[in-house]
Amino acid sequence: MSINIPGIDIDKAVKNSGSYELFTELLGDVYKLMDDKVALTQKYLADKDLHNYTIQVHSLKTTCRMIGAMELGEDFYSLEKLGKEGDLGQLLELTPAVLDSFKALKPYLEPYAGQNYAAHKVFDKNKVSGYLKELLAAIDDFDLSAAEEAARQLMAYDCSRELSEELKILDGLISNLDYDEARALSMQILSGL
């Protein structure tokens, strides 16, 4: 299936995310987190909380670059620099248009959001432990494609409801690039196995 999304460089995106499959998965992940990220960015700006605003736009810059939206990534980078400089006036003026451009991607990403991985492997403690360790190593190396792949493998196991819920949360953290929280949860799951 050929992907044609305005403002997205498919070749760069596939290179950045590691494979075509991971790229399309990432498009679905971005679709799911988009509304929350936009709302948080707007809230921090309205509250004049430039510290957390800058963290959000930094994350959005990385997200855009990962999916090949290079120009949008640059726009978020500009907002990040203004946030670090504490230039509230410029941020109030420029942020709405950048967020609107980001939100304009939403209808193009929606088709990729429905791809789910159904659990189909019988639970194997050693294999699940192994994938959690791979995930931790990938987080430590900031290797997004390896982290996504390990999370995808974990989601394929038929686990207890409690463990399934934890793995879903972990998968969401990886998708959101919340590596510190993902690392803590991975350690917690690992010690509980």
Instruction: Give pLDDT tens digits for 48-65.
Output: 999 999 999 998 998 898
The phi, psi pair for 121, rounded to 5°, reads -105, 140
54 and 137 within one domain = no
Q: Are 159 and 167 in contact (CB under 8 A)?
A: yes
Mean pLDDT, the chain, rounded, equals 88
The per-residue pLDDT for 118 is 53
Domain that holds residue 188: 121-192
> How many structural domains compose the chain?
2
Residues 6+ positions from 187 with CB-CB distance below 8 Å = 136
Beta bridge partners of 121: 157
Question: For a pLDDT cut of 70, what percent of the chain falls above it?
Answer: 95
Question: How sure is the predictor about 32, in pLDDT bands with cuts at 50, 70 and 90?
Answer: confident
Instruction: Give pLDDT tens digits for 68-81.
Output: 999 999 999 999 99
CA dist., res. 172 & res. 55, Å (int): 18
Q: Which of 88, 113, 138 is the last residue of a domain?
A: 113
Q: Tell me the average pLDDT across 181-192.
A: 92
173 and 130 within one domain = yes
Q: Which of 113, 140, 158 is the last residue of a domain?
A: 113
Query: Which comes out higher in pLDDT, residue 86 or 25?
Result: 86
Q: Are 20 and 1 in contact (CB under 8 A)?
A: no
pLDDT at 14 over 70: yes
In a domain? residue 3: no
CA-based nearest residue to 44, from 63, 30, 57: 57
CA dist., res. 5 & res. 8, Å (int): 6
The per-residue pLDDT for 167 is 87
50 and 105 within one domain = yes
Q: Which of 113, 129, 157 is the last residue of a domain?
A: 113
99 and 18 within one domain = yes
Quote the distance between the C-alpha of residue 60 and its chain's center.
9
